[in-house]
Amino acid sequence: MNVMETIRVSLNSLTTNKMRSFLTILGIIIGVAAVIAIMAIGNGSKASIKEEINKLGNNVIMVAPAMPMTEEEVNRDNLPSYTWADIKAMEQKSSIAALMPSISSNSKVVWGRYNYNATIIGTSASFYKVKKLSFAEGRTFTNDELDKRMNVAILESQAVVRLFGGDTKGVLGRTFQIKQIPFKVIGVLNSQPVTNLDYSTNDQIYIPATTMMNRLGEQNITRLEVSAKSPALMDQAQSDILESLRVTHRLKPSEPDQFEVMSQAEAAGAALGVDNIMTSLLGGVAAISLVVGGIGIMNIMMVSVIERTKEIGIRKAIGAKPRDIMIQFLSEAVIFGLLGGMLGVVTGIGASKIIEATAHMTVEFTISPILYSFLSSAGTGILFGVYPAYKAARLKPIDALRYE
């Protein structure tokens, strides 16, 4: 039996019971589709992180409380936190260009009959420089407004839309309320893209950190980002930050640092490493579906051998060799795998596109996962089809013809 005849007979056998054949390859379809979709989402996520790193530049430093090393430190109530004195001291360092302390709170904001639950961020005058933001109109806080704890606010683009009900013309100078306290709009920011590192919704409101502490009762600076004057001064800026914090927190030379510093690129690199691990783990879990699909192929091929025992006996009686029988059944298993692989590739790409459109996630396809998963599906067909094919080839003609 030549190759084309073998393929024709195999396809005819598979199409005899279409539903059974489809259910057999369903595991392969799910496995291949899951691998492709997960890898596409993972690649898209990594691309977004790299893009964000490039956009932020390499002069942004994140400052965080040092991780507790002992159980006693974990249970202490007086874990280190930032103070406004820390911020003022760091502003004096020549290596530091800008700081963005963050005191975050969710509050209802009201203007006339319009209101929404906004994220309020208490920060410094130079926050926009750290985040690479720009003003559509207006200005940032002045030192006088910070020192006098004045009720002024800067709105992101969607905050203007949500707070003023679409009336976005001439918003500078308008007064709205946060916790029934009036605030005056002094600036409006341009929209910023949503990224993997900082999920901005463009509807946040920025007010002076001193006002946040004094008027809204939020005392804890939960986040601190610092921009060095240049990439060349990164090491100096990190040293200056730690030195400044040691002075303002009155640490003795023998006492360890209470804070850690890390560049934004290093933090993003750590996030990228975690993303790689998660993508690999999820890809491995998805690949298990290929094994499940392979077991389904073996099961159905074993049933097929039993159902076609007489057919095998007749073919052997008229001259078919064991090799011919084995090739025929093995080709059926391979076709199962290849067909499941093709449908899985189409399903995986389609599912990724749907996720991208509905969940607003970035997906990025590469040829390697598609090629590997498709070839794996064919390999699964071979691997799990060998034993049924071998069993069919080993049947003796006289025993096969007697089978009822």
Q: Give the per-residue pLDDT at 310.
A: 78
Based on the fold, state whether residues 118 and 206 are members of the same structural domain.
yes
Among 177, 202, 229, where does a domain finish? 229
Q: Give the per-residue pLDDT at 148.
A: 93
Strands in 295-337 per DSSP E: none
Beta strands 152-155; 181-189: pairing state? parallel
Based on the fold, state whether residues 275 and 398 are members of the same structural domain.
yes
Q: Give the per-residue pLDDT at 270.
A: 64
Among 229, 259, 289, where does a domain finish? 229
pLDDT, one tens digit for every residue, the chain (404 residues): 566 766 776 677 777 777 877 887 888 888 888 888 888 888 887 777 666 666 666 688 888 887 655 555 544 455 677 888 899 999 899 999 999 999 999 999 999 899 999 999 999 999 999 888 899 999 999 999 999 999 999 999 999 999 998 777 889 999 999 999 999 999 999 987 655 445 457 889 999 999 999 888 887 888 898 988 888 888 899 999 999 999 998 888 888 888 888 876 666 666 666 667 776 776 677 667 777 777 877 877 787 777 777 777 787 777 778 887 788 778 888 888 888 888 988 998 998 888 888 877 788 888 887 888 888 887 887 788 788 878 877 777 766 566 55
Q: Is residue 68 part of a domain?
A: no
Query: What residue numbers bound the domain in which 186 lies?
Result: 95-229
Place of tokens 């030549």: 2
Q: Is residue 255 part of a domain?
A: no
Based on the fold, state whether residues 299 and 398 are members of the same structural domain.
yes
- Give the 3-state secondary structure of residue 114: strand
Q: Is residue 280 part of a domain?
A: yes
Q: Is residue 334 part of a domain?
A: yes
Both structure tokens of 192: 């910023």
Q: Give the per-residue pLDDT at 153.
A: 96
C-alpha of 357 from chain center: 15
Nearest to 239 by CA among 369, 95, 28: 95
Whole-model pTM?
A: 0.59
Based on the fold, state whether residues 398 and 273 are members of the same structural domain.
yes
Q: Is residue 177 part of a domain?
A: yes
Based on the fold, state whether residues 13 and 120 are members of the same structural domain.
no
Among 229, 260, 288, where does a domain finish? 229
Both structure tokens of 67: 């991780």
Q: Give the per-residue pLDDT at 132.
A: 85
Based on the fold, state whether residues 216 and 274 are members of the same structural domain.
no
C-alpha of 268 from chain center: 12
Based on the fold, state whether residues 123 and 191 are members of the same structural domain.
yes
Q: Give the per-residue pLDDT at 339.
A: 86
How many domains are contained in the chain?
2
- Check: CB of residue 364 under 8 Å from CB of residue 37: no
Q: Give the per-residue pLDDT at 196.
A: 47
Q: Give the per-residue pLDDT at 79.
A: 62
Based on the fold, state whether residues 38 and 115 are members of the same structural domain.
no
Q: Is residue 288 part of a domain?
A: yes
CA trace torsion 256, 262, 266, 270 (10° rounding): 60
Instruction: Report residue 251: phi and psi, to 5°.
Output: -85, 140
Based on the fold, state whether residues 316 and 208 are members of the same structural domain.
no
Residues recorded for the chain? 404
Q: Can you count the helices (H) and strands (E) in the chain?
A: 14, 10
Q: Give the per-residue pLDDT at 135.
A: 94
The vertex-200 CA angle with 155 and 144, nearest 5°, equals 35
